[in-house]
Structure 1
Amino acid sequence: MHPRHLLALIFAALALASATLVAVTVHLATPADSDTATAAALGGGAGAAALILVAWFVLDRLIMRPSRKLVRGIRALLESRSPEQGLPLPRRHALGTLPDVTAELADALKQSRGEIRKAMDDATARVEEQKNWLEVILQSLSEGVLVCNRQNQILLYNNAAVSILDLPETIGLGRPLFNILSRAPVQHTLERLERHHAAGAAAGSELTAPFVCSSVDARQMLHARMALILDNQDAITGHLITLVDISDEVALLARGDAIRLALTRDLRSTVGNLRAAAETITSYPDMAPDERRSFDDVILRESETLSARVEELGQEIRGQLLGRWPMADIYTSDLVSCVQERLADLAGIKVNLVGMPLWLHGDSLSLMQALDCLIRAVHRETGATEFDIESLLADQAVYLDIRWRGKPLSTAALERWLDTPCDDDTSGPRMREALERHDCEPWSQSGREQEQAIVRLPLPAPNRPQFLPEPRRLPARPEFYDFGLMRKHAGDDELAATPLRDLSFVVFDCEMTGLDPTGGDEIISIAGVRVVKHRVLTGETFERLVNPGRSIPQASTRFHGITDVDVEDKPEIQVVLPQFKAFVGDAVMVAHNAAFDMKFISLRQSEAGVEFDNPLLDTLLLSSMLDGEEEDHSLDALCDRYGITISGRHTALGDTLGTAELLVRLIDRLEAKGLDTFGEVMKASNMAAQIRQRSAMVSTSRHM
């Protein structure tokens, strides 16, 4: 029996005994025939019982409840490992200086924890510095990098891998490699390298191998290289894979094969017909005119076919060369600035950038050389000393116009200049070669103003948008290090036996139009964050606004700040839920008051074609299980107690990050109580849910 209940029974018994004793005493002391004897006895007994009950009330309110609150705070402080953990003190009590002394002890404990934390931070400073160096190197690589353990779980990755694979919802720490890469080539290469290692191959070239694979959705062809990772005992602990997207190169190779086949097979019959007709005419010079005319028709027809086909193949080859030359997006103001510096040796020459700078796609060096060569040639030919360069938008290109005062150039002059070298070194590229790399055929014409001439260079349009903002940058991912998973050994596969720290969690939160899921309210925002190995991975987040298909009440907008305008162009829940499911994978889902959010999700999952059958944890129930029903278990109250700051409260992502930090603190306390596995926690939280439900039913019945 709970001590409080036992004490309540003792006081109740005392009250009953006191009332009986006082009543009997008063009755005996009062004359038996007195009319007031019974009333006096009853009144005295009731008074004695009331005094006992008042004493119980005062004892419970001023000593027992404050003591329990103090005990819960001390227990939370001991179970928590965070130096920010506070100690809530009772406001009204009769414990004397005990709360103040306890607070001093708590402050001393917090100070000691802070000193220990500082010592640990100092001790790991050099490791963190090396980690930062590694992170900078990884993030600066253009190749995608993936590090996996023996179970083919991802332990490390860089932003380039996310960008190349374009699967931000499925790539993540601890997630399966084969969710993003095709299994067969990876498995085959790994088996080859493992055989080499088993045969005694040393670390080096024998333990690395290139291979070609595709993304799991077959959208990208990837050139990859795998290397085994060995520990100090020469045992395989994982493997590293680097990725390069070769989809464009494969397409170019296919086009090259088509051109080769056309030259070696498709044109063979045409050339054969021409040769046969020419040999026949040569062998029989005296043939009849009608017969000669038929051979002339064959030669004319086949020559036209050959000419058209050669022109077509020429365009194909030019396009293939254009795609093969290494190019990048160039800002015209940067290009013109380089040309201005290059022309500094010509006294009196002035080059101006006019109009709005635009982006184009090309090889910056060869374009700068071609512009320099062209302006020098125009200066020599016309004597012009001032040139304006302007970039203009075209349908499939960007025009780069060079303008000066004078007459347009003749086609012959342009053709002559195109064969001049772009540099003093005559072995360098000629202007024609530099422009052909960009599929550019320049021409000269009159300008918009009188006595103005233009040379127009049509250049490739950029890959990036001209005026729209740059695509949203991938978030920084500093917390993708988890080499501890390399030491993972096969254990009990049952989820109930899995330690909490070995689980992957996705903490999530939703914002809705209102609080009635069955009455028409809908999700308008959903967010999630991964928690792996007791760390909140703030770089691995999911956040989407959702068009609810109905208006958002102003009362709800005042709560979360989302308006109808914010969601009018956003996807519906049927589109977002599959994306969220891909992000969650098979992780344990966690939320504060999880049943509420899951009710909204469950009502829409069937029409979205997904099922959220993941294990579920509720931080509200965990807190209730740890501290009982007398404490406030709202998210605000818990974050205040555990020293957690929420940035963006009442937004889906803000509440998600706050709940994730809360989960980490609660796991510390659960482990301190010996609740180490998922099964133990689920059993205890289910009991807490039943107790909470019964308490709510009792509270409701009291107010009926």
Structure 2
Amino acid sequence: MIGGLSIRLKLLLIFAVLGVGAVIAVNLALVWGAARAAAEQAVGDTYMVVGIVASFAILALTALIWTVVDSHLARPIDRLTGELRARAQGQVKTPMPLDAMAYMGDLARAAQDVTQRLTQAQGALTDFVDRETRAIASQKDWLEALLDDVPAGVLLCSNDHKLVFYNGKAVDLLGGMDAQGQGPALDRSVFDYLHEPPVRHAFERLMSAYDRDGASDLLCSAKNGGAILGARMRLLGHAGQTGPTTLRVGQPAFASGYVLTLHDVSRDLAAQTARDQLIDEMFERVRRPAAAIRSLVGVLTEADGPQGEAREKIRSAAHSEAGQLSSAIHELSTRREALRDATAALGLSVRASDLLDAVRAQIFGRTDAPSTSALPDLMVVAAPLILRCDGFSMVSFLSSLLRMVQKGDETAPRRGFRLEIVEEGAGAMISLEWDGPPLPLNDLERWLDLAVMPAAGAGPSGLQQGGQTGRQILTQLGTDIWPERIGGQAVGFNAGDPQGERGRICLPVRSARRAVQPVAALPRRAAYDFDLLNKSRNTDLHDTLLDDLVYVVFDTETTGLHSERGDEICQIAAVRIVNGRRIGGEVFDTLVNPQRPIPSASTKVHGITDAMVSDAPMIAQVGPQFHAFAQDAVLVAHNAPFDLAFLRRRSHEMGVEFDHPVLDTVLLSAVIYGQSEVHSLDALTHRLGITIPQEVRHTALGDTVATAEAFLKLLPALKARGIATFGDVVAAQRQHGRLLKDMNS
């Protein structure tokens, strides 16, 4: 019955009860006092006692009324405020908990109706925006794929040298991802990955040149791995700026940042050095025996030269020098082949089936090709291999070879061609077989000295290959070729035909690998946020806006709940939030060897066993890596004192101090929803409409992602309450210190 009353009538009823109760209490006290005074005839003392009793009765009644108001109105209003903020700012779509607000009358149902209308309006707006931006989103995906597949590393940096964009090739050039998935990160200094002086000097040169279209070439090195990188820097103007701008001294007027394109010159330098050393050694090792042989031959050919035993000694010396020269030439030739294999472009990979399809297309697609009736049964057979060779040159060579063999001798035609690629050792064998007479070696040698004309265009290197001979292409491919006669009866010839013959040409490929299992596609690692180009920087953390901070949300799994009793971390995971969004490719996740057994009760919670961590790195190694991942960021955790206690306890072993600023989603939840609510991670994510898959709950990474999503939904609600800076949010956290200790010093 009471639940159906309006909130105004409920408040009236509360105060009516308070007034009536006070009157009743006073009157009862007076009656009791009058009776006591009549019995004891002590009026003064009696009325003092009456006043005290009445006062306590009124206080008790007031406390009782407050308890009812707090549980049925104050707390539900606080809860309703938090729910409304979450739906207005955090785009939460779950139904409001009306059962917890039953005594608020129609207010809760009206709020539910408003939020439903708001959700519907937001949904309609979202659908409209999605329809209008779908084409842009598709183009964005194409651009990401294109930028990530660019063969050069690309970095985009702000004018204070913070990373705004990087692609997958840049990740590789800067040292790649380590076992914990740590690599380049947005809004981190480029000098964390490249040595500073060359980059800074190039930037200053361009800034002082007053030329927004200028570029500067530089040579720098990666800090991780020390690779030597060639780079080109080009400045970026401010958005909307089209013309040159006069620079003030010390003020970059038109450069909001710069682009660095990177390529690895370490391999080029090493290859060039090896070639130079080989050439120097070749001259050194060939010059002396060649000079000695020339002298000895001169002596032997003189008319009055030595005779008898002396002549034999000279001949023996000449023979020895010739042997040394031959041995040196053979060794140097072997080393040259190895060097060519290691440095040849031709580290290009091509599927065997694709190569043979291209050859078939060359044969039947050319206007000057033989008619299809002349090659009625060309068969191509390819093993599931990926060849390491220059596919363009190989296709040109094989198609030209096939046409040459097919022409043959009109009196002894060749037919029944079969082009096959099979695995052979560490490489592959390409064989061209046919029914008909074998190809004489002399004919093959003559053909190799002729120009091999590709179908059209240039090779991958961009050089026109029309004038190359077959022998030059073989040298380029680093292989050889030979003809063979195949035993057995030729297909298509009568058994009694004495002319039935079969021939074959063999061409080995030195390097190949099986391709039975498709290689998993590499994850796209391009990351960017162009808003960082114009991001304001505040050196005072206390006054920094929440949107301008970089956050690292983390979670740990442990062997137990008590760090002070020897429990240790067995898994740690973290994600980065930059400019209000979680960067999908910037993740830290690793198991940790706790150097102690994991109790079965803990394994039941997080699923981590002793076997899983036996080969994992220890906290002394993982800690500094995580500390570097969280550099210059605000740490965010759910129940941060628990996780930080484990890290800080081992800080002396790690050699780092975890003195980062800290935000705690438990306290932030209390700021939004009030202390009376449940603030567990499950309860918080349920209120915010976030689903944690059961299979990743109580895993470090699963809980980290859930905490990050909850934090991103709490941020708009905090700003709606006027909490805009880091100092504001720390002050708000400390108001709820009864729940948890604030970890900021």
TM-score range, shorter chain: 0.7 to 0.9
Match of 1:359 among 386, 399, 403: 386
Letter of the aligned partner of 2:392 in structure 1?
L
Equivalence for 1:285 = 304
Structure 1 residue matching 2:397: 3-state secondary structure: helix
Of 91-100 and 285-294, the range deviating more from structure 2: 285-294
Distance 1:288 1:693 in 2: 107
1:249-283 CA-partner distances (Å, limit 9, x unpaired): 22221122113323444533333333333444456
Whether the 8 Å contact between 1:221 and 1:246 is mirrored in structure 2 is yes
Describe the shift of the 1:56–1:194 C-alpha distance in structure 2 as closer, same or farther (beyond 3 A). closer
Distance 1:220 1:146 in 2: 16
1:650-684 CA-partner distances (Å, limit 9, x unpaired): 33333222221222232223333333332332343
Match of 2:427 among 397, 400, 403: 397
Letter of the aligned partner of 1:211 in structure 2?
L
1:430-480 CA-partner distances (Å, limit 9, x unpaired): 433333323223456788999998655332325x77566636613454x61
Describe the shift of the 1:117–1:368 C-alpha distance in structure 2 as closer, same or farther (beyond 3 A). closer
Describe the shift of the 1:619–1:357 C-alpha distance in structure 2 as closer, same or farther (beyond 3 A). same
Matches within 5 A, 1:497-576: 497-517=543-563, 521-546=567-592, 556=602, 559-560=605-606, 571=617, 573=619, 575-576=621-622
1:461-505 CA-partner distances (Å, limit 9, x unpaired): 25x77566636613454x61233433535x4x2333332222111
Distance 1:694 1:153 in 2: 34
Whether the 8 Å contact between 1:349 and 1:385 is mirrored in structure 2 is yes
Matched, 1:369 2:374: no
Whether the 8 Å contact between 2:285 and 2:328 is mirrored in structure 1 is no
Equivalence for 2:669 = 623
Describe the shift of the 1:138–1:272 C-alpha distance in structure 2 as closer, same or farther (beyond 3 A). same
Distance 1:151 1:525 in 2: 35
Matches within 5 A, 1:249-288: 249-282=268-301, 285-288=304-307
Of 143-152 and 300-309, the range deviating more from structure 2: 300-309
Distance 1:56 1:217 in 2: 64
1:320-340 CA-partner distances (Å, limit 9, x unpaired): 444334441122122233334
Of 576-585 and 658-667, the range deviating more from structure 2: 576-585
Equivalence for 1:186 = 199
Matches within 5 A, 1:211-226: 211-226=218-233
Equivalence for 1:4 = none
Matches within 5 A, 1:185-334: 185-197=198-210, 201=211, 203-204=212-213, 207-231=214-238, 232=241, 234=245, 235-282=254-301, 285-322=304-341, 323-334=343-354
1:133-170 CA-partner distances (Å, limit 9, x unpaired): 54344233221111111111111122221233343323
**Aligned-pair identity (%):** 32
Distance 2:131 2:651 in 1: 48
Whether the 8 Å contact between 1:70 and 1:89 is mirrored in structure 2 is no
Describe the shift of the 1:558–1:371 C-alpha distance in structure 2 as closer, same or farther (beyond 3 A). farther
Matched, 1:470 2:519: yes
Equivalence for 2:480 = 441
Q: Which runs of 5+ in 1 are unaligned?
A: 1-7, 696-704
Distance 1:629 1:591 in 2: 18
Q: Which runs of 5+ in 2 are unaligned?
A: 1-13, 41-45, 246-253, 365-371, 456-464, 491-501
Structure 2 residue matching 1:94: 3-state secondary structure: helix
Whether the 8 Å contact between 1:18 and 1:48 is mirrored in structure 2 is no
Matched, 1:691 2:738: yes
Distance 1:679 1:60 in 2: 30
Distance 1:88 1:236 in 2: 52
State the Cα RMSD in Å.
4.3
Distance 1:338 1:564 in 2: 54
Of 625-634 and 25-34, the range deviating more from structure 2: 25-34
Whether the 8 Å contact between 1:332 and 1:358 is mirrored in structure 2 is yes
Structure 2 residue matching 1:617: 3-state secondary structure: strand
Whether the 8 Å contact between 2:167 and 2:525 is mirrored in structure 1 is no
1:408-434 CA-partner distances (Å, limit 9, x unpaired): 988667655544554589954443333
Distance 1:383 1:677 in 2: 84
Shift of the alpha carbon at 1:192?
Answer: 2.2
Distance 2:93 2:387 in 1: 53
TM-score, with length taken from structure 2: 0.76
- Length, aligned pairs only: 667
Distance 1:324 1:95 in 2: 79
Of 282-291 and 625-634, the range deviating more from structure 2: 282-291
Whether the 8 Å contact between 1:227 and 1:239 is mirrored in structure 2 is yes
Shift of the alpha carbon at 1:553?
Answer: 5.8
Distance 1:683 1:64 in 2: 23
Shift of the alpha carbon at 1:227?
Answer: 0.5
